[in-house]
Amino acid sequence: MADGPQTRLPLLEVDGLKMYFPITAGLFRKKVGDVKAVDDVSFTIYEGETLGLVGESGCGKSTCGRAILRLYEPTAGRVVLAGEDVLAAPPSELRAMRPRMQMVFQDPQASLNPRMTVAGIIGEPLDEHTTLTRAQKLARIYELMDKVGLNRDFANRYPHEFSGGQRQRIGIARALALNPKFIVCDEPIAALDVSIQAQVVNLLEELQDSLGLTYLFISHDLSMVRHIADRVAVMYLGRIVELASRDALYDAPMHPYTQALLSAVPEPDPNAEIDRNRIILKGDVPSPANPPQGCNFCTRCPKVMDICRKVEPRFEEVTPGHFLACHLYQEAAVGAAPSGANPEQSASPQDPNFQQGET
């Protein structure tokens, strides 16, 4: 798991992804603004790795995952999966691409149709994308059920007859049915008990090893991400503020938000817990409909500077493999920037430095 991603090929490239939801008001539903749920997010996921995407509730993690799979129509940006542009594909091509990218959902209760049997649910992708005979389909369904550790006899049962962990296994089996390369795990463990969480995460890891899967693992559970992810991206208010390899991020977080987030992870050792130095952020997360000028975090940042309120920090590589959007570490860049630069201009995705470079 620790081998450098540099040696691998990029599987998914996300470039300047924006997902704005329009706000309408008045009698004629006039558009009065946007909720910037995902605002200019760029990252790369390498083949066979797990990228953890963390952040607090409402920061746009799930929306980001769904926009990548084009379950929403993103406002702007480019998503390239194994050389094919997902966002630009016409409906028929997109349908042909679906088998390669799948999703595991957060709420295993809501993500399974209550009127379908387990066999029907796991078999749906096969119905849609393959021309297997009935017997072949059933064989494949049983194979998938074995793979995720479900008893074959459960095939005729309905989702409400299962526990949360079992339901999540059904969801994982459905995602695996078409041999995808890339799976977005949208908080797959958030709705489960702690003991079941470990089972599901271990199952995901085993499947990754045996099938060579690539995950985008969305979660707000920092310790679980530390366990499963190879690299971690931290999101705040629709933007990625820091992206680094797991060890670099957890051992030496650079962005003040990441530092505050990590300081909130409880310490199992009670002696260490007493000495734990928590960084407590003041105030609330600003509304994504009206993000602050400059850096998104400037309203709550303990190390805020004047420039943070004016100029948006660029998301760039500060040390190899460690991407950061913070003025604290961009003195040189700040000096080079023209004084009084229009913050809106500096936020534009055309800025070549804004995109994440290849490493």
| Nearest Cα to Cα of residue 144 among 124, 114, 161 | 124
C-alpha span between 48 and 214 (Å, rounded): 5
For another protein, give the closer residue by CB, 5 or 123: 123
For another protein, give the closer residue by CB, 174 or 310: 174
- Does the protein bind another protein through residue 21 (CB under 8 A)? no
Helix (H, G, I), strand (E, B) or coil at 152: helix
Helix (H, G, I), strand (E, B) or coil at 197: helix
Helices (H), the chain: 61-68, 91-97, 118-129, 134-147, 164-176, 194-211, 222-228, 246-251, 256-263, 270-275, 331-336, 343-346
* 286-315 binders of another protein (CB under 8 A): none
Out of 115, 272, 282, 340, which residue is the one contacting another protein (CB under 8 A)?
Answer: 115
- Does the protein bind another protein through residue 69 (CB under 8 A)? yes
- Does the protein bind another protein through residue 189 (CB under 8 A)? no
Q: How far is the CB of 95 from another protein (least distance, A)?
A: 4
Q: Which two tokens stand for residue 259?
A: 């530092």
- Does the protein bind another protein through residue 165 (CB under 8 A)? no
- Does the protein bind another protein through residue 155 (CB under 8 A)? yes
C-alpha span between 310 and 297 (Å, rounded): 12
Compute the radius of gyration of the chain from its Cα atoms. 21
CA dihedral (23, 25, 30, 33) positive or negative: negative
| Nearest Cα to Cα of residue 50 among 213, 191, 190 | 213
Q: How far is the CB of 103 from another protein (least distance, A)?
A: 5
Q: How far is the CB of 151 from another protein (least distance, A)?
A: 5
Out of 4, 6, 9, 95, which residue is the one contacting another protein (CB under 8 A)?
Answer: 95
Looking at 66-74, 197-205, 247-255, 300-308, which segment touches another protein (CB under 8 A)? Answer: 66-74
Out of 20, 46, 105, 217, which residue is the one contacting another protein (CB under 8 A)?
Answer: 105
| Nearest Cα to Cα of residue 248 among 276, 273, 264, 229 | 229
Asked if residue 143 lies in contact with residue 162, where contact means CB atoms within 8 angstroms, the answer is no
Helix (H, G, I), strand (E, B) or coil at 106: coil
Out of 14, 112, 224, 249, which residue is the one contacting another protein (CB under 8 A)?
Answer: 112
For another protein, give the closer residue by CB, 71 or 264: 71
- Does the protein bind another protein through residue 90 (CB under 8 A)? no
- Does the protein bind another protein through residue 60 (CB under 8 A)? no
- Does the protein bind another protein through residue 120 (CB under 8 A)? yes
- Does the protein bind another protein through residue 111 (CB under 8 A)? yes
Looking at 124-132, 198-206, 285-293, 329-337, which segment touches another protein (CB under 8 A)? Answer: 124-132
- Does the protein bind another protein through residue 114 (CB under 8 A)? yes
Q: Which two tokens stand for residue 289?
A: 């409909």
C-alpha span between 135 and 118 (Å, rounded): 16
C-beta atoms surrounding 126 within 10 Å: 19
For another protein, give the closer residue by CB, 9 or 96: 96
Looking at 45-53, 152-160, 230-238, 314-322, which segment touches another protein (CB under 8 A)? Answer: 152-160
272 sits in the region (left: phi over 0; alpha: psi -120 to 50; else beta) called alpha
- Does the protein bind another protein through residue 128 (CB under 8 A)? yes
**Bridge partners (DSSP) listed for residue 243:** 233, 323
For another protein, give the closer residue by CB, 110 or 252: 110
| Nearest Cα to Cα of residue 185 among 214, 148, 143 | 214
- Does the protein bind another protein through residue 110 (CB under 8 A)? yes
C-alpha span between 304 and 344 (Å, rounded): 19
Chain contacts with another protein (rule: CB under 8 A): 66, 69, 71, 94-95, 98-99, 101-103, 105-107, 110-117, 119-120, 124-125, 128-129, 138, 142, 149, 151-153, 155-156, 158, 160, 171, 174, 178
